[in-house]
């Protein structure tokens, strides 16, 4: 179902690409949605864009699908299907230091700061 979130947000001209994953809490009893956005050049992830994205997801899917975290990233160097598993590992795992996908190191660092 998370792939529908990417479809919803990619209707926006500001979004060039996206990857959406679920992040379980420590006890694995609940999860939150984390959305990574690669923005179209000359656009930035400001409050207006974030609010419009959340509203579209809420209206097109459901309130439960609205991401708890929306993070802009520089690049998604692989297809969504290829990136989902490594990103899932990063948002779930306690540590992350190396990867075939170098952009995930910065994503992990952002996760630790949140």
Listed residue (40, 38, 39, 1) closest to 21, CA to CA = 1
Three-point CA angle 2, 82, 71, nearest 5°: 55
Strand 15-24 relative to strand 31-39: parallel, antiparallel, unpaired?
Answer: antiparallel
- The CATH class that applies to domain 2-113 reads alpha beta
Among 82, 75, 86, 78, which residue's Cα sits nearest to residue 39?
Answer: 75
**How does residue 114 score in pLDDT terms, banded at 50, 70 and 90?**
very low
Tens-digit pLDDT profile for residues 1-46 = 566 776 778 789 999 988 888 887 766 677 888 888 899 999 999 9
Residue 113 has pLDDT above 50, yes or no: no
Element (H, E) at 49: helix 47-60
- pLDDT, residue 32, reads 84
Which pTM was predicted?
0.67
Segments of 40-87 assigned E as strands: 69-72
Q: For residues 76 and 104, is the Cβ–Cβ distance under 8 A?
A: no
Residue-wise pLDDT for 55-97, tens only, equals: 999 999 889 899 998 988 888 766 555 556 666 666 666 554 5
Name the 3-class secondary structure at 71: strand
Contact 6, 19 (CB under 8 A): yes
């Amino acid at each position: 179902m998370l792939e529908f979130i990417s479809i919803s947000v990619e209707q926006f001209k500001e979004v060039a690409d996206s990857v959406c994953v679920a992040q379980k809490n420590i006890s694995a009893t609940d999860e939150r949605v984390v959305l990574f956005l690669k923005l179209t050049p000359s656009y930035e992830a400001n409050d207006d864009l974030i609010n419009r994205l959340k509203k579209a997801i809420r209206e097109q899917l459901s309130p439960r699908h609205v991401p708890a975290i929306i993070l802009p990233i520089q690049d998604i160097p692989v297809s969504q299907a290829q990136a989902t598993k490594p990103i899932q590992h990063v948002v779930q795992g306690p540590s992350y230091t190396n990867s075939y996908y170098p952009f995930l190191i910065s994503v992990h660092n952002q996760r630790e700061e949140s």
